[in-house]
Structure 1
Amino acid sequence: MTASTTRRTTAARSRIAAVGTIAVAGALLLTGCGDQTGSKDAGGDSTSKSTAPLADKLPQAIRDKGVIKVGSDIAYAPVEFKDESGKTVGIDPDLADAMGKQLGVKFEFENGTFDTLLGGLRSDRYDIAMSAMTDTKDRQEGVDSATGKKVGEGVDFVDYFTAGVSIYTNKGDDQGIKTWADLCGKKLVVQRGTVSHDLAKAEAKKCPTGKTIAIEAFDNDQQAQTRLRAGGADAGSSDFPVAAYAVKTSGGGNDFQIVGEQVEAAPYGIAVAKDDTQLRDALQTALDAIIENGEYQKVMDKWGVAEGAIDKAVVNGGK
């Protein structure tokens, strides 16, 4: 999701900073769906409650359950997606597994469309939302980025990664697109509710009369990619790691290309309800612990995204 230095939020922000080339282990398929059918996957085995070093940091109710329910759009490779066996894999599940070992719980991922995750958090369907979600002031304050109106009490974020937004086109057919301004008069496909979507709407308002951006938004990024691949659009936009992964894997690397530079570098955050401060602080402590013990860096290196790594967990660092 890029073009100079502009970005999944209001007048433009993302679901990603210049992240290095995505290194993929094996031929992982871009599968999974963005519905809310309750598809579940634990974030891996974790240390027992009795031996986990940070178990006492968690709210008692979660310690008793031994599970943190995670709302996630599990169709956003390589951040979270289903592998060929149907297991939830990616950057977020690996980080959740590492934090779970510190906290003595399992992180259980439940599939949902991206733009419904915060609603699911508000209704207590999930304990947290972890889905390449950009930490923004609007989300912190419960403001609809499209209308500027208050729609809820907002959430707190524990920031764990940095990323920007990229534009991609069919390979060998860049349509002359290098920047977001070049999208005027073009058709763009995006995932609904993302920074790419917000950025496209903001850019469309700047276009000359009669030459706006035709935006088609989908439930998940894979649907947008399918439309572009079939020739139904001129370009697509998503967070840089996702765009780079699609460029590397789709059609054996023959379908897409990234054009221009990524923009709107901003932090990804784990979303937690405003009144759930104990859980928020436990997650921050666990994230700092895996940064300190090296497990965090192992995940970054595994997925080839070390340039988006952070060195300290921050709460509500988004602008």
Structure 2
Amino acid sequence: MTASSTRRTTAARSRLAAVGAIAVAGALLLTGCGDQTENGGSDSTDTATKSAAPLADKLPQQIRDKGVIKVGSDIAYAPVEFKDSSGKTVGIDPDLAAAMGKQLGVTFEFENGTFDTLLTGLRSKRYDIAMSAMTDTKDRQEGIDSDTGKKVGEGVDFVDYFTAGVSIYTKKGDDQGIKTWSDLCGKKIVLQRGTVSEDLAKAEAKKCPKNKKLTIEAFDNDQQAQTRLRAGGADAGSSDFPVAAYAVKTSGGGNDFQLVGEQVEAAPYGIAVAKGNAQLRDALQAALDAVIANGEYDKIIEKWGVEDGAVEKATINGGK
């Protein structure tokens, strides 16, 4: 659910090898050395805990005691997060969360919610974090409603972990002459409510001539939008590139949809954390950096075929 202040195409980029493994290894060695007690022994339990979860002491004590981080997520956005045929929550985000959980000694529990309510749930403390292909933007950092420009909350901090752009897709073999966003004038587009695809469509609609109105139909989740397009109820759909590409590859055995044009608005996905919770934010950043350094990040990104969006390090509030 991607955004940026400047539209641009996303070029495939090569990644430098992740660095810092030596530093992480050093940290592990240090955590393995427990304080000596007066009788010459050591706290073996504490040492074992730190060895199994080397970054556990970075978490707020309340979360360490619970052993759980509650995650607000729209679990209908394959391949980022979705339910598999057995009902299990799978995808890029759950895999990364599991890897980070090993570093922190906690379990990330994903709770389903509609995308446009996740930050509200974070503010009300229903969730500890929101992790749902959420684009890190200045508006979200500052609690600004992108439609009205008015402040609606205190905003959030982001731990950025991936980069993605926005794509348009159509029924396969029927692109309606659509190659760019300007080609949508006079057409109908379906998308998910509260996403940057919706922001882009609204911005484009304002540019269309009166006799070529762009009609926008927004849904609670992306799967509903895909169903509408598949049934012939629209001319095009839009979502983040990884999601659109996955739908093109998998829906109808690859026979339902096709991508048109190039992705735009390359921007970072971020894990949202409430303002004032810097300790949790920084613990997540440290865990993600450790996962990048030990190679687990690369394996997860490659597993889901989204290498072009990989990052070299975790960044705080990198969105523009």
| TM-score normalised over the length of structure 2 | 0.86
- Structure 1 counterpart SS, 2:207: coil
Residue equivalent to 1:159: 160
Aligned-residue sequence identity (percent) comes to: 83
- Label 1:259 to 1:241 Cα distance change in 2 as closer, same or farther (>3 A): same
Supply the AA of the counterpart residue of 2:131. Answer: M
**Pair 1:234–1:77, CA change in 2 (3 A):** same
Change (3 A) 1:13 1:61: farther
| Higher-helix-fraction structure | 2
- Measure how far apart 1:211 and its partner are: 1.4
Higher relative contact order (CA 8 A, sep 6+): 1
- Secondary structure at the aligned position of 2:158 is classed as strand
Are 1:78 and 2:83 matched, yes or no?
no
* Partner residue, 1:52: 53
Partner of 2:141: 140
CA 1:19 to 1:66, structure 2 compared with 1: closer, same or farther past 3 Å? farther
Larger radius of gyration: 2
SS of 1:75's partner is: coil
- The answer on 1:309 being equivalent to 2:310 is yes
Over residues 118-166 of structure 1, what are the superposed CA-to-partner deviations in whole Å (9 max), with x where a residue is unaligned? Answer: 0000000000000000000000000000111100000000000000000
Letter in 2 for 1:260: G
User: Per-residue deviation at 1:9?
Assistant: 4.8
CA deviations over 1:202-244 (Å, ceiling 9, x no partner) = 1111111231210000000000000000000000000001000
Q: Deviations over 1:5-49 (max 9, x none)?
A: xxx4587889x94579xxxxxxxxxxxxxxxxxxxxxxxxxxx95
1:115 partnered with 2:116? yes
What are the equivalent positions in structure 2 for 1:220-259 lying under 5 Å apart? 220-259=221-260
Code of the aligned partner of 1:277: A
Q: 1:203 aligns to what? A: 204
Q: How many residues align?
A: 285
Give the aligned partner of residue 126 of structure 1: 127
- Partners of 2:56 and 2:104 within 8 A in 1: yes
Equivalent in the alignment of 1:193: 194
Counterpart code for 1:310: V
Tell whether 2:290 aligns with 1:280.
Answer: no
* Contact preservation (8 Å) 2:165, 2:265: yes
Inter-CA distance 177–156: structure 2 relative to 1 (3 Å threshold): same
Instruction: Please list every run of at least 4 consecutive aligned residues from structure 1 whose deviation after the TM superposition is greater than 2 angstroms.
Output: 8-14, 16-20, 48-51
- Are the aligned partners of 1:13 and 1:136 in contact in 2 as well (CA < 8 Å)? no
Q: Which residue identity does 1:76 align to in structure 2?
A: Y
1:251 maps to amino acid: G
Q: Aligned partners of 1:12, 1:219: CA distance in 2, in Å?
A: 26
Letter in 1 for 2:156: V
The 2-side partners of 1:168 and 1:141 are apart by 31
Asked if 1:212 corresponds to 2:204, the answer is no
- Structure 1: 5+ residue stretches without partners: 2-7, 21-47
CA distance in 1, matches of 2:7, 2:131: 17
Cα separation, 1, equivalents of 2:274 and 2:287 = 18
Q: Give 1:278 deviation, angstroms.
A: 0.2
* 8 Å Cα contact 2:4/2:266 also seen in 1: no
Aligned partners of 1:11 and 1:198 also within 8 Å: no
Q: Equivalents in 2 of 1:278, 1:210: separation in Å?
A: 54
Partner SS, residue 174 of structure 2: coil
**Alpha-carbon distance between aligned partners in 2 of 1:296 and 1:252, rounded to the nearest angstrom:** 28
Q: Distance in 1 between matches of 2:159 and 2:309?
A: 15
Aligned mates of 1:291, 1:60 — CA distance in 2: 25
- The answer on whether the counterparts of 1:10 and 1:198 sit within 8 Å (CA) in structure 2 is no
Task: Tell me if the contact between 1:79 and 1:242 (Cα under 8 Å) persists in the aligned partners.
Answer: yes
**Which consecutive residues of structure 2, in runs of 5 or more, have no partner in the other structure?**
14-47
Name the SS of the counterpart of 1:215 in structure 2.
strand
Distance in 1, matches of 2:241 and 2:12, equals: 7
Distance, in Å, in 1 between the alignment partners of 2:189 and 2:307 is 29
Q: Which amino acid is 1:189 matched to? A: V
Distance 1:19 1:201 in 2: 28
Matched with 2:293 is 292
| Partner of residue 29, structure 2 | none
Per-residue Cα deviation, 1:84-127 (whole angstroms, up to 9, x for no partner): 11000000000000000000000000000000000000000000
CA distance in 1, matches of 2:214, 2:12: 27
